[in-house]
Amino acid sequence: MLFTTLTLAEAREKLRRSMRPWPVEEVGLGEALGRILAQDLAAREDVPGFDRSTVDGYAVRAADTFGASEGLPAILRLAGEVYMGSPPEKELLPGEAWRISTGGMLPEGADAVVMVEYTEELDEETVAVYRPVAPGENVVRRGDDVQAGRVILPAGRRLRPADVGLLATCGWERVPVFRKPRIGVIGTGDEIVEVGQVPGPGQVRDVNTWSLTAAVAAAGGEPVRYGVVRDRLPEIKEALSRALEECDGVCLAGGSSVGVRDLALEAIEDLPGAEVLFHGLAVRPGKPTLGAVVDGKLVVGLPGHPVSALVVFNFLFRPLLEPEKENPLLLRARLTRSLSSAPGREDFVPAEIGVEEGVMVARPILGKSGLIAWLARAQALIHLPLDAEGAAAGEWVDVFLV
Ligand X SMILES: Nc1nc2c(c(=O)[nH]1)N[C@H]1C(S)=C(S)[C@@H](COP(=O)(O)OP(=O)(O)OC[C@H]3O[C@@H](n4cnc5c(N)ncnc54)[C@H](O)[C@@H]3O)O[C@H]1N2
Positions that interact with ligand X (CB under 6 A)? 187-189, 191-192, 204, 206-209, 228, 253-259, 262, 285, 287-288, 303-306, 308, 369-370
Q: Please choose, out of 210-218, 285-293, 317-325, 346-354, the segment that lies near ligand MOO by the rule CB under 6 A.
A: 285-293
Q: Does the protein bind ligand MOO through residue 308 (CB under 6 A)?
A: yes
**Cα-based angle 198, 204, 209 (whole degrees, multiple of 5):** 105
Peptide bond into 285 cis (omega under 30): yes
Pair 31, 306: CB distance under 8 Å: no
**H helix runs in 62-194, sequence order:** 161-169
- Using the minimum distance from each CB to ligand X, give the nearer residue, 113 or 228: 228
Q: Please choose, out of 104-112, 202-210, 282-290, 378-386, the segment that lies near ligand MOO by the rule CB under 6 A.
A: 282-290
Q: Please choose, out of 73-81, 131-139, 266-274, 279-287, the segment that lies near ligand MOO by the rule CB under 6 A.
A: 279-287
Helices (H) and strands (E) in the chain, counts: 8, 26
Pair 198, 288: CB distance under 8 Å: no
Question: Which residues, 6 or more positions from 38, have their beta carbon under 8 angstroms from its beta carbon?
Answer: 22, 24, 155, 176, 177, 178
User: What are the backbone dihedrals phi and psi of residue 113, each rounded to the nearest 5 degrees, phi first?
Assistant: -130, 135
CB of 340 to ligand MOO, least distance (A): 15
CB of 179 to ligand MOO, least distance (A): 31
Encoded one letter per residue, x for contact with ligand MOO by CB under 6 A and - for no contact, window 353-382 reads ----------------x-------------
Quick one: which of 12, 305, 318, 345 contacts ligand MOO (CB under 6 A)? 305
Q: Which does 271 bind (CB under 5 to 8 A by kind): ligand X, ligand MOO, none?
A: none
CB of 195 to ligand X, least distance (A): 10
**DSSP per-residue codes, 96-142:** EEEEE-TTPBPPTT--EEEEGGGEEEEETTEEEE-S---TTTTEE-T
Q: Which does 206 bind (CB under 5 to 8 A by kind): ligand X, ligand MOO, none?
A: ligand X
CB of 210 to ligand X, least distance (A): 8
CB of 37 to ligand MOO, least distance (A): 33
Quick one: which of 179, 284, 334, 383 contacts ligand MOO (CB under 6 A)? 284
In the sheet where 96-100 sits, what is the strand order? 112-115, 57-60, 96-100, 74-81, 126-129, 119-123
Q: Looking at the chain, how many residues does it have?
A: 402
- Using the minimum distance from each CB to ligand X, give the nearer residue, 104 or 306: 306
- Using the minimum distance from each CB to ligand X, give the nearer residue, 34 or 259: 259
- Using the minimum distance from each CB to ligand X, give the nearer residue, 261 or 383: 261
Q: What is the DSSP letter of 29?
A: G
CB of 185 to ligand MOO, least distance (A): 17
Q: Which does 253 bind (CB under 5 to 8 A by kind): ligand X, ligand MOO, none?
A: ligand X
- Using the minimum distance from each CB to ligand MOO, give the nearer residue, 213 or 289: 289
CB of 303 to ligand MOO, least distance (A): 4
User: What are the backbone dihedrals phi and psi of residue 12, each rounded to the nearest 5 degrees, phi first?
Assistant: -60, -45
Pair 281, 254: CB distance under 8 Å: no
CB of 8 to ligand X, least distance (A): 15
CB of 274 to ligand MOO, least distance (A): 23
- Using the minimum distance from each CB to ligand MOO, give the nearer residue, 220 or 280: 280
CA–CA gap between residue 39 and residue 175 (Å, rounded): 9
Q: Does the protein bind ligand MOO through residue 16 (CB under 6 A)?
A: no
Q: Does the protein bind ligand MOO through residue 208 (CB under 6 A)?
A: no
Q: What is the DSSP letter of 36?
A: B
**Cα-based angle 386, 355, 378 (whole degrees, multiple of 5):** 55
User: Which stretches of 182-329 are assigned E, i.e. beta strand?
Assistant: 182-188, 192-193, 204-205, 222-229, 249-253, 274-279, 283-284, 290-294, 297-302
Q: What is the DSSP letter of 256?
A: -
- Using the minimum distance from each CB to ligand MOO, give the nearer residue, 44 or 368: 368
CA–CA gap between residue 153 and residue 114 (Å, rounded): 35
Q: What is the CA radius of gyration of the chain?
A: 30
Pair 6, 282: CB distance under 8 Å: yes
* Closest residue to ligand X in the complex (CB): 304
CB of 16 to ligand X, least distance (A): 23
* List of residues contacting ligand MOO (CB under 6 A): 284-287, 303, 305, 308, 369
